[in-house]
Structure 1
């Protein structure tokens, strides 16, 4: 199947996949998929063509030949530093619920492709929560961004600046409002907001000197109590 992906090669692959599927030999089916993708010049185009010609492959829910084939292609694309194609493929075939959200979307977020991730998530509430939870986990005080980026060293166009606390906070706040999700769902964001409020009060009191003692005492008491309350409930 090297070079051009011929019709004969596609027919042979189609028969082999169908045969393995009927035998329920999933391990061998996965191996055949990976070997075929390595030989194809355009694996994504071939898979789409096969799925369009064989609509019965998409019957069922999580257990159907289309899902296995698409999942293996998504994994293959990711290994070849192409999460964008994997996401677009899942979008076209509406297979997002059957793929690992973090594996598909985390590299896209690190490349500042939040718009693609939002399209991928769409109106599916479970994935909306997965997205805000993932971003909230990046707001944790002990989260090691260096370790995260080390996992994707070969990925082009990594944008480290988009993991800065204030940018993550702004993005999360917008998504919570858009999706109608409570801020209680993002404990690290709440903690970050409480700490930001305390820093702001310190700035106003000791740098600008624009807050009198009575106002300072009232605000700092509320902010500090809120901050420690949040910390105890994370």
Structure 2
């Protein structure tokens, strides 16, 4: 299969797609060194800068790797799965285990770093969770519960941690909605859940990292047990 010239834009995406197809169909097997930039640019009828950007895109997808002084080599025939796709494919129990690791530490940091604004956000989120728990809408309750946990993570004042937790929340929401179809966790554990979340907010308010981590860890372990039993 010849490369052939490209006639439409965006050229970088087209060049990357054409090179990706060549790799996928076996024209360049794993371990093969790709032709140089000048050759690829001529075959694709684009500039060398376009080829260079296309190769960067392929490297980002885990298909090729540059070797200093040697060239660019094929290292895989299929793109590496991105993080959101990996999360969507994971079981909610597996995601919950990672959530526990993140949130226990986040709660400890929140207790150390929280501000007056954080406390107001936590109080508002806790009140909204209580209102949603008393209402008929399960999805609204799950959203309010996640919002409270998100407020705790935000109070840790670590933007990387906040962003990472944000990638988990869509998967957590879907998993908890599925669980709610099998087990009415908020009815079975209503008093415990309300007390645990109030205790979490209180520990953050009191600047007690040990208590904050202990309370949220116990609460998340209870939910994880429901997920595994469902």
TM-score (norm 1): 0.28
With the length of structure 2 as denominator, give the TM-score of the two structures.
Answer: 0.28
Identify which of structures 1 and 2 has the higher relative contact order when contacts are C-alpha pairs closer than 8 Å and 6+ apart.
Answer: 2
